Each structure stands twice: as C-alpha cells, then as structure tokens.
A and B are shown apart, each in its own frame.
Chain A
Amino acid sequence: MTENSLILDPTAPGASAPRHARKTLGGLEGKVVGFIDNAKPNFHHLVDDLAELLVNRHGVASIVKHRKRSASIPAPPQVYADVREKCDLVITGSGD
C-alpha cells in the first residue's frame, strides 16, 4: 500500500448547480410558440410540419419562425429579443 499525496483538482469548480427559474406552461392552448431552426438538413420541414400541427391540433395561437445561418453559431441577438418579446415557449434544435 503506497501513501497518498496531495494534488489539485484540474476540473472547473462548482460547475452544475441549477440557476434557472422554472415554470409550468400548463399546455399549449393559446400560447405563442417560437422556433429557432438550427439550419440542419430537414429541420425547416420539421418546423413547418410542427407549426401546422401545433396550431391545428393543440390550439397554439401563433408561431414565430427564425432560422440560424448554421447550426454551430449562435442566433443573433435580435432573434433572442424577438422570441423573448413575442413567445411563451421557444423550441430549438440540436443534432443531425
């Protein structure tokens, strides 16, 4: 059995405590839903189909659509401002 020695932790301290308020939407009826399309293949089709379904089947009041220039860059600030002003729920995409 060898002795222990003291080392310093190479990971970032205190990374993952929840810091966001949360809310229950209580359903989609009458809500405004925003999409930020990640510009990956087919995602715009998915957004179009979901927009139609959410309005027709689930009573969503209206849809706000934005499309990023590409998946790997953030949406510009005006997109965030727009969805923050208009929407109750914003849906983003991740993956291929």
Chain B
Amino acid sequence: MGLAGMTICSTAFETLGRAQAKALGCPDLPLAIIPHPFGLRTREQVRRIASQCAEDIARIAREAEAPVGRSPTNAESPRGRRAQRIEAPGDHDGFNRYCRDRRWSDGLPHVPPTPARVDAMLRHTRRAPEDVVAAIAPAYGAATVEGIAINAVLAGCDPEYLPLLIAAVEALGDATFNLQGIQATTNSVAPWLIVNGPAARRLGVNGGLNCLGQGSWANATLGRAVRLILQNIGGALPGEMDRATQGQPGKYTFCCAENEDGNPWDPLHVERGYPRPSSTVTVVGAAGTLNMNTHAKDADDLLRVLADTLAHPTSNDYHFGGEPWIILSPEHAEVLKLAGLTKADVKRRLWEASRMAASRFAARDYARARHTRGPELGVMTADTQIPAAPTADGIGIIVAGGPGTHSVYVPTFGQTRAVTREVEVEAEPAR
C-alpha cells in the first residue's frame, strides 16, 4: 500500500495541474476543481464550494486510480540522453515557422541548432554532452550539457558562452533558488543573471552604460538562452505551466555584468566567497526593475530615499521575507564610499530604514504575512515594522551602469534566494 494523492485546483490552474502531473509521470492525478478566484470568496461561498468539493472528492475516491509514491524527476541519472536529430526546413522562414509551430520560441527568430553549430559550442567545455547539469522545473526536464548548447545556439549565443550558461543552469537548479515556484507562479519573476570576474570582460558581458538595455550581444543572447532552456527543457510554456499574470520584459533576457571597476567595495563574487580571479554567475529571482533617480550627494540623504523606495506593501519581499536587490550606479556608490560606509554598512542602513509598518499591507496580505513571517517576527500587530529581508545581509547590492544619477531597485519573488556558481575555466577548444 502507498499513499494516494489528489489535488484541489482552482479553474485557472487546471492547465498547470494537468501539465505538471503529466510531466512528473502521473498524468492521471485526480483533480477536484473549484472556481477561480477562490481567495476572493466570502466565508459562506467557501462553505457552498466545500460542499460540492467534498462530493467530488468522494466520487474520485470511489472511481479513480490515484497515483502513489513520491515524485521522481526526469534527471535522476547524472547521464542523460543525447538529443534527437530532426529534419527541419533549411530556409530561414521555414525553419522559424517550424520553431513557432512547436512552441520552441520566445517570439523572436532563431538560429538553427545544426550539429556543426552545437559541436562548435560543445568544444568550449570539458564536460560530456550527456552530463545532466540540472533538472529544470516544472517539467523537471534533464538539462544536459548538449541541451544547454542547443538552446544557446537557438538563442544566438557565441560558442564560448557555453561554460557560463552551464554555471547559470547549475545555479537555477539549486533548491534555494526555488525554480519550481518561479516557473509556475502568477508573479512576473524572471531569473536575472549577474556575471562577475574576468569572464565578463572576455565574453563582452556589459556592466556599464545601458547594461540592462539593448545592444550587447552577450547580455542579450545569454539571458535569452536561459529563457529558452526554461521553456524548452523546463516546459514552462506561457499560458500553460508558466502562469505569469503579465510577465515582464526581463523574461526575454535579463543579464548583465557587475561594473567591478566602478565598485568601491568587493565585487559580488568576492563577497560571496569566491576568489577574485574566478568568474561566477549569480541568478536572482527578479520581479522587475524600478529606476531610482536622485541627485543626493549626502550619504544619509541618499540612503533615506533609496530605503523609502524599497518599502511598498505589494512587494513579495515584504510578504514573505525576501531578498531585494539594489543596482547602485557608480556615482551613488561613490557617495556612500566617501562617507566611509562599507557595503555591509549600506546593507544594514537600508535594511533598517526600509522597515514598513504592517498596517500598510492590505488586510488579506497582512493576514498572510502574519502566517508567513510569524516564525521570524513573532506576534505581529499593525504597528510591527516589517523588514524586507529577514536579515540585513539579505539586501543584495551590486554596482553596475555608467555615469548618471540612476540606481535600480530589483524587487524579487520573495520566496527565492540568489545562487552563485563558478564558471568553468575554459579549456583550449578540443579538436
């Protein structure tokens, strides 16, 4: 005997429920469906829905065969399978039509992943093509080195980007990043890649002027490759398992380097315990970006307005105790450095000054925060000052961008933590 399973699903999530059950190898998982949006129903309406739902559960228990046991992933083995070779139209328009029909696309044209192009990319890593780097939620597809290379070609990456992408996929697969939550949520969250160390310069990852904007091949195609991996290997197709209410432009691509020359403190990878000469990629579950323009030249004044901007009652970071990030412009970083502040000082000051009274939450969000943050904050009242992150260290800071008085606020999904992985030092391409 084993434990049988069943899921109660609101109508808007039925597609996700069925797709995820199928992807996890239990396509017949019984679903009891309740109307969406369930959270807005009155107590009396919930009673009526429960009455019907109980009948559905009883009927399903009589009739259905429920899956038993625990969920395997598709990447249980460290060796995956090699990719299938497929005949596709050889002309540009025909090939892109072929991709669109199969939903391999982010909406933009692709480069055909021919065996020659994929092989050229694979020569930039020592790892075997069939090595599984991570299981990509929500389908838990096995991201092999070869699969990463294929999607990188599709996205237009240069061959030498492969080791960086492998590190990024490793980071995405770390449990603390919570890719399952990120991929299947209604939230706008997208992985943001931060590149540190010599690889950034060598590959041309922009951390200067317009680093979050257009025009840098590496920034554009690396972020795009990650999106295609999440879609094609992870199975997060928009409107199906990707349930984003609106999404955000960062879901096309979201990648930059840190401006280490403009950073008066240790760069991110050194802060996170990696040697300065190493190269790393850090993934952040970013809900979006907000420009913060201030001509403040006084550190206290600057920190005050940045902290004011952080605090907003519709933020997942405040709801769940998250990890909000700040991209300081080099000019703003310089103001703080000249005042004698370390990066840790800046984090602590921002963390303290961005506490927000619980009364600013909507009533439902306040009730939820009492549950989610109760273990951390104790008994909560309307006057409780809620920090955005559980500890001051939870405020993420990098320095990026060019000249100008603009820093960027990057709120997160809240139920995620940034993960850093070292980029494999590239071998001389094998022959």
Q: A residues touching B (Cβ–Cβ < 8 Å)?
A: 2-28, 31, 39-43, 45-46, 49-50, 53-54, 57-58, 67, 69-74, 80, 83-84, 87-96
User: B interface vs A, CB < 8 Å?
Assistant: 1-13, 16-17, 22-23, 25-28, 32, 34, 36-41, 43, 46-47, 49-51, 53-54, 57-58, 61-70, 72, 74, 80-91, 94-95, 104, 112-115, 118, 136, 139, 141-143, 146-147, 150-151, 154, 178, 180-182, 185-186, 228, 232-235, 320, 364, 367-368, 371-372, 375, 413, 415
Contacts of A49 in B (CB 8 A): 46-47, 50-51, 54
- Could you tell me the distance in whole angstroms from the C-beta of A94 to the nearest C-beta in chain B? 5
User: Among B11, B46, B87, B228, which residue has its beta carbon within 8 angstroms of that of A45?
Assistant: B46
Q: Knowing A8-B84, A13-B83 touch, does A95 contact B3 (C-beta < 8 A)?
A: no
Residue on A with the closest CB to B114? A7
Task: Please determine whether A95 and B25 come into contact, CB atoms closer than 8 angstroms.
Answer: no
- Nearest CB of chain A from residue B423's CB, rounded to whole Å: 22
Contact across chains for A73 and B23 when beta carbons are under 8 A apart: no
Interface of A is mostly: loop
On whether the beta carbons of B38 and A96 are closer than 8 Å, the reply is yes
Bound form: Cα–Cα A86–B93 in Å = 58
Given A12-B139, A24-B64, A43-B3 contact (CB < 8 Å): no
> A22, A54, A87: which contacts B58 (Cβ < 8 A)?
A54
Q: Are B39 and A42 closer than 8 Å at their CB atoms?
A: yes
Q: How far is the CA of A80 from the CA of B38 in the complex (A)?
A: 25
Instruction: Give the most central of A5, A11, A27, A93: most B CB within 10 Å.
Output: A11
| CB neighbours of A74 from chain B (8 A) | 180
Task: Report whether A96 and B4 are in contact in the complex, using a CB–CB cutoff of 8 Å.
Answer: no
Beyond A10-B104, A94-B13, A95-B36, whether A17 also contacts B25 by CB under 8 A is: yes
CA distance A62 to B32 in the complex (A): 20
